[in-house]
Structure 1
């Protein structure tokens, strides 16, 4: 059957499949426990896209290759670009208003900008976080990876179809290229899966085979030589039997509860099932007595607006996660309802008008040029929102960045015009940062070397202020997730961290001398909370082949290596760990968020009891060596009171559950300076 305005066949059963796929994806994104394999709905979309676009081109094909390519790309842009651009712009504004910058949200603005040009998936693949990682779950543009795959495919597709339309040997070449490219893509995807490479999930190179399945199916069903096959398959028994098996496979895939590492298997099964279901009902004209179309009419309509629903549901869910939360029934119902409302508005007022209105009648080249201009304008607007969010954001954190972000108070100048700024250096020792004052003179404090995990970097404002006020240089070695002398075997078990620690120590030894101080800040307590979720006190502890005693012996060895250079060692005692991350819980609309339930603080007695074993271990490391001293930041950050609070005088001491804020550094600065000078007082 065809629509009145188009020579292209319309397939109601394809819209039913679209509806089932988008509902599966939506359910999975809402709560993965409800439909563990729902992410495979995207694989259904890929097969459908390959099938539909092939049919569309074959129905309209005429003229030269240039005319074919321009017309095809223009049609796809009319279909994809307007709703996408509206969604990207609106969601970018909402993100700037409600989501504060953080490690968890760093990728949001860039992903949005890249998505305007169809390469958001490339950016996501370049990162260290796969589709099932926390950063992906809190990025409202993660779902644009699949659109990027399709848009990149559309640039290659016209060449394949042009070869097919030429007929003869060119058609054989077309099939050979399609089969070879799809096979290579399948093999590459299998290889990436076997190696545990998460970036493979996002790439066209690992998804081409799914689109290829749809294209091959379209070519097979349209080719005259296959008419008899279609006829046999359209028999009632074969058709319904095959479709029943395929539907059962699809349902099994959606409800499949295997590990995320086995997602590739779900992709294969769902792609096969989708191809069978498309073929089973292909070119089947519904009879007047057939009631099935009446029963599935809501699904057909949902399938028509599935693109808009796919576009909007994920950003809505992510924004709920960032703000009011997405754990209660009320929040889930509200998120789903808002998703459908925005999807309908997008479908009714953006998607359909641009496909059928005056924009659709523009010449292909003009449509492509207009789309590029809109993409450039949108990306520029999003970049502006990112740069100036502090002036209009609703977020307290975004509006008062100088209090919250340690990175904002590392460029200082005093009343004499002396300046200090971090100098970032590379090398095998990881991130290497140097703070030195621009004014020359006699240093009024020892030179300080610091090494540790991200907590070492969080001391940045204190390091900068120390360098400015004393004139002494501060050199920092930091590698996120790799502590030094943490006294926790599971934190130091990774081979990459051990190699990193050795590289930092070797670099330290080469630069240390008598009178220098080595400061070793690292996370030394299990966390209650991370930026994205509350944690058990085990904090992801993993099996380690090292005991606590062995870890303590290694800590002694590290200290001996440092002390052999004549340098002093300062070991900071654990700082308070909070039960909710302040940067996510400080605004009023976050009070219902599940991550804020523990409160932005910890009972002081509870904190002291938790850190008591670590304090004792650190005291034992310092025993018998006057060159090893202890420094307790808790004296300033948790003064005697019932609770260690995340705030002092209404300003934040901590950014998240355990990292210092810029204001926390300001409070700690005098105590830090005194500890460094005290370490060398006996010199």
Structure 2
């Protein structure tokens, strides 16, 4: 789906720009050159995460339950597979970040540089439990990886619950009357998240806080399966009303962004814009960026730390030097992401790879802490 790859590429570029505009001395020095642009990136760039959440929900529905019922024979194995695919590039990027932070710590007196990690902190990150256990993050944005894993597991549990209960009770197979029960469960939890959980900041370390956005993506996929235009139109209208109602209760720009993304995705799906035939060759660079967007999201922070340290110790310089440093940071981040994607993310996930990278993270953390 080239359109989704391109959307992820643009969203990831905005998120990287958001971090580049907030962390270290370079953005502070370059701010005077384009104050409005830097202010927008700093304040609003984070909203691009909502695009990823909607697309992730859309793809989860397509993978787990394209017809509304669970298509996974071994749910636990599928969850473990998801963990492996997420953590292999994640663990590699965290190892790089731990090492880079140790190198730049004496040269960059900034709060953005993570402190030397503890053993418990390293283990918690490897298990995607750092936020739930209250540990400081080793890299910016790693909260998203933990939330993505929680959301996938929660979505699988919701769509698989009716089937699992029927198997346990020995009841008859799912029939037409109960076929869309999993979808109903997703609707209930998504609406509850939008109007209740997402308004409680104390839940932002859990999937319940984000499931409204993720659920919008899942529902859009199922809506797109409608064969009649009138059915599709009514379902999209209901989706828009639910989102508008949640915003009327409590306006949140993140939910507004997610709702617009979901509605645009619904139109694109209906008009078959997700097909490769609708994309010219000019869009190929964005598609490639989108395919390695996860690697870019993971690896750009240690590149940012290293460049901030280099520029901060380059002697007296002006705003244009800092701006050039930011541009170079973005370019080097893409280069590093291409390597991470090729060497780790694009390769099949395996438990041997997970254990090896987990060990590398633990060893690097222990070495730099002593």
TM over 0.5, shorter chain? yes
Count matched residues: 319
Match of 1:174 in 2: 182
Match of 1:154 in 2: 152
1:29 aligns with 2:16: no
Match of 2:83 in 1: 77
1:337 to 1:167, Cα distance in 2 relative to 1, 3 A = farther
Match of 2:362 in 1: 380
1:159 to 1:90, Cα distance in 2 relative to 1, 3 A = same
Match of 1:120 in 2: 130
Match of 2:34 in 1: none
Find the aligned partners of 2:198 and 2:152 in 1 and give their Cα distance: 23
TM-score w.r.t. structure 2 length? 0.72
CA distances 1:308-338 after superposition (whole Å, capped 9, x unpaired): 1111123322443455349712211221121
Find the aligned partners of 1:164 and 1:329 in 2 and give their Cα distance: 55
Structure 2 SS opposite 1:56: helix
Find the aligned partners of 2:275 and 2:65 in 1 and give their Cα distance: 29
Greater CA radius of gyration, 1 or 2?
Answer: 1
**Structure whose residues are more often strand by fraction:** 1
1:201 to 1:320, Cα distance in 2 relative to 1, 3 A = farther
Find the aligned partners of 1:264 and 1:142 in 2 and give their Cα distance: 26
1:14 aligns with 2:4: yes
Match of 1:86 in 2: 92
1:325 to 1:119, Cα distance in 2 relative to 1, 3 A = farther
Match of 1:96 in 2: 102
1:210 corresponds to which of 208, 213, 226:
213
Measure how far apart 1:339 and its partner are: 0.3
Match of 2:342 in 1: 348
Match of 1:187 in 2: 195
1:141 aligns with 2:139: yes
Q: How does 1:289-308 map to 2 (within 5 A)?
A: 292-308=279-295
Match of 2:254 in 1: 267
RMSD (Å) for aligned C-alpha atoms? 3.8
Find the aligned partners of 1:289 and 1:158 in 2 and give their Cα distance: 28
Structure 2 SS opposite 1:324: helix
TM-score w.r.t. structure 1 length? 0.41
Match of 1:468 in 2: none
Find the aligned partners of 1:373 and 1:43 in 2 and give their Cα distance: 31
Find the aligned partners of 2:342 and 2:361 in 1 and give their Cα distance: 24
Q: Which runs of 5+ in 1 are unaligned?
A: 1-10, 128-135, 234-238, 247-262, 360-366, 389-683
Measure how far apart 1:120 and its partner are: 2.9
Q: How does 1:572-587 map to 2 (within 5 A)?
A: none
Measure how far apart 1:266 and its partner are: 1.8
Find the aligned partners of 1:49 and 1:348 in 2 and give their Cα distance: 22
1:232 to 1:58, Cα distance in 2 relative to 1, 3 A = closer
CA distances 1:64-111 after superposition (whole Å, capped 9, x unpaired): 96x331442244234322211111111111112222599945656256
CA distances 1:181-236 after superposition (whole Å, capped 9, x unpaired): 223322344533xxxx5x554432311211111122222323xxx22138976xxx
Find the aligned partners of 1:386 and 1:281 in 2 and give their Cα distance: 49
Q: Which runs of 5+ in 2 are unaligned?
A: 22-37, 164-173, 241-249, 314-318
Find the aligned partners of 2:278 and 2:187 in 1 and give their Cα distance: 39
Find the aligned partners of 1:152 and 1:298 in 2 and give their Cα distance: 31
Find the aligned partners of 2:144 and 2:230 in 1 and give their Cα distance: 31
CA distances 1:599-656 after superposition (whole Å, capped 9, x unpaired): xxxxxxxxxxxxxxxxxxxxxxxxxxxxxxxxxxxxxxxxxxxxxxxxxxxxxxxxxx
8 Å Cα contact 1:112-1:141 kept in structure 2: no
Match of 2:224 in 1: 221
Find the aligned partners of 1:167 and 1:59 in 2 and give their Cα distance: 16
Find the aligned partners of 1:303 and 1:90 in 2 and give their Cα distance: 22
Match of 1:317 in 2: 304
Segments of 4+ moved more than 6 angstroms: 60-65, 230-233, 286-291
Measure how far apart 1:54 and its partner are: 1.6
Measure how far apart 1:119 and its partner are: 1.9
Mean CA deviation greater in 297-306 or 313-322? 313-322
Structure 2 SS opposite 1:227: coil
1:221 to 1:387, Cα distance in 2 relative to 1, 3 A = same
8 Å Cα contact 1:140-1:314 kept in structure 2: no
8 Å Cα contact 2:197-2:203 kept in structure 1: yes
Measure how far apart 1:345 and its partner are: 0.8
Match of 2:324 in 1: 330
1:350 to 1:103, Cα distance in 2 relative to 1, 3 A = closer
8 Å Cα contact 2:150-2:207 kept in structure 1: yes
Structure 2 SS opposite 1:109: coil
1:184 to 1:323, Cα distance in 2 relative to 1, 3 A = farther
8 Å Cα contact 2:198-2:208 kept in structure 1: no
Find the aligned partners of 2:209 and 2:339 in 1 and give their Cα distance: 33
Find the aligned partners of 1:112 and 1:325 in 2 and give their Cα distance: 29
Measure how far apart 1:300 and its partner are: 1.5
8 Å Cα contact 1:312-1:339 kept in structure 2: yes
Find the aligned partners of 1:288 and 1:264 in 2 and give their Cα distance: 34
Find the aligned partners of 1:352 and 1:290 in 2 and give their Cα distance: 24
Structure 2 SS opposite 1:141: coil
Find the aligned partners of 1:142 and 1:209 in 2 and give their Cα distance: 23
